[in-house]
Amino acid sequence: GIQLTNLKHINFQECDSITELPKLCAPNLKTLDLSSCTELVTVHELCVTNLETLNLSFCYKLVTVHEFVGFLDRLRIWDLQYCMSLRNLPNNLRLKSLEVFNLEHCSMLEKFPNIHQEMKNLENLHLSESGIRGLPSSIEHLTQLTGLWLKGCHNLRDLPDSIYKLQMLEFLSFDIAKLRPPCNFFDGLSEYGFPSLRELYIYECGIELEFLMKPNYFPVLKVLSLFGTDIVSIPESLHRFTTLECLDIRSCKQLRQILRLPQFIKRVDARGCTSLDASRLLNQIGEILSEGERSDILSRDLFLFHWGDERSFMVPGTEIPRWLNCKHQSVGNSVSFRVGRKFPNVFAFYFALGLVPHPSPAVLNVYLSINGFEKVLINFITPYRDASNILWISSRSHLKLQKLLNESNPSDYNHVEVTYGLIPPVPTLEFRRWGVKVECTCCPQKSSISSSMAITLVDNDSDSDLNLPLKKRRKY
């Protein structure tokens, strides 16, 4: 073979003429990049004992990888994503240094190799959209694994019991119909089931929530996504997930009720939940926001994960609950009000959106400006292209808002303006109603959120002012 003693890096990226590599001996080679070599069919045995990075991504015709790769002690990153013809990997993996292994979209790959007990450094295993039919029980040797991606593995029906031994796992995604923990498996394993799991994503499958709704098995869970699953009810035990910040239940079309939300929840996305009891959910959202009003919870940096201090709730329908109804409503793109030197604890804005299917993605940005100072982005959402009507309710912490007020040369009377912008404009998106709930100094205060929690919905048709044509409606 070819002797390349001092060579450290080879970059053959996008070399369409390569069908196979010549035998070479490069003992000091660190990086071998063959990505997008679309005619490459096989990787033969090479003498690259010190190789650290092997990039074979987007080699669409690659079928076989030689056994030698499974014994590269120094290999840290192995990328095979979008090798859609790949069928054969080494039967055994003894990659002591491997940290990242990417097999996403290897749709023809059905067998995953056995894992040697010395493979303790792997942190991220990407298998989404691959064709694997099973994972070996030896996956338990991946004791440092923090991320496991299994979304779209449609041939994968069951996970081995040993998956519950991955005590360092922080991220798990799958859409498997038959994920069940063995009877008493957690109890015999450790005090907790997944003591490090922060994000759990379950997509479009039939699943029973009984074993998921045990907070002691998921003591640090931040994100729970049940997107498109066939769940009917989320039990009250969800309330005991004290670290949960985000609940994604989009497109759960059979979901009827959420018995009780966690107190410190920051995001709930229920778009596409066509069977959901929206009034009951809105009642709980009002209680959460009123708790923030009473105890200033929104000012406490209890959890700083993805969303900082913001809270955001998306509920099917466009009815406005009475506790949210207020005089600061607008049919334009701006709402103004006055505050004193202390920004009110009660502050939330809402948008009732009538959505018609639209072809391009869009972002709805909401801005806040005080005393004419520069607008500050306070939140945003991306409306579904094919969603129906939704109500979006959002708030920011009193601490954040007070900081903005303090930086605006405040007086006893301060002008606050909330505006929105849609980028790009979507003609088919209808703003049914939007407004701001705030205890301002320009309006008499009748009641706060906490004292008006009856969930009776506003009869939008009875408000003649809001049924006028767009250009004739009053601006508050």
Q: What is the DSSP string of 350-366?
A: EEEEEE---SS--EEEE
Query: What pLDDT, on a 0 to 100 scale, did the predictor assign at position 293?
Result: 53
pTM value is 0.86
Instruction: Establish if 281 belongs to a structural domain.
Output: no
Domains: count for the chain = 1
Question: Which pLDDT does position 181 carry in this prediction?
Answer: 57
- For residue 468, being part of any structural domain is answered with yes
pLDDT the model gives residue 205: 79
Retrieve residue 44's tokens. 């033969």
Alpha-carbon gap, residue 382 to 173, rounded angstroms: 22
Distance CA 149, CA 223 (A): 15
Using CB atoms within 10 Å of the CB of residue 206, give its burial: 0 to 12 exposed, 13 to 18 middle, 19+ buried.
Answer: exposed
Residue 53 per-residue DSSP state: E
The whole-number pLDDT of residue 356 equals 64
- Domain assignment present for 430: yes
Q: How many C-beta atoms surround the C-beta of residue 249 within 10 A?
A: 24
Chain Cα centroid distance, residue 172: 12
pLDDT along the chain (476 residues), means of 10: 88 93 91 97 93 98 96 98 97 97 98 95 97 94 97 89 91 75 49 83 79 83 94 92 95 94 94 93 92 51 55 93 82 89 92 74 91 91 73 92 95 95 81 89 61 39 29 26
Q: Residue 363 is part of which domain span?
A: 329-472
Question: Is residue 314 a part of any domain in this protein?
Answer: no
In a domain, 457, yes or no: yes
Residue 388 in any domain: the answer is yes
Asked if residue 231 belongs to a domain, the reply is no
Task: Look at residue 420 and tell me if it is in a domain.
Answer: yes
The CATH number linked to 368 is: 2.60.120
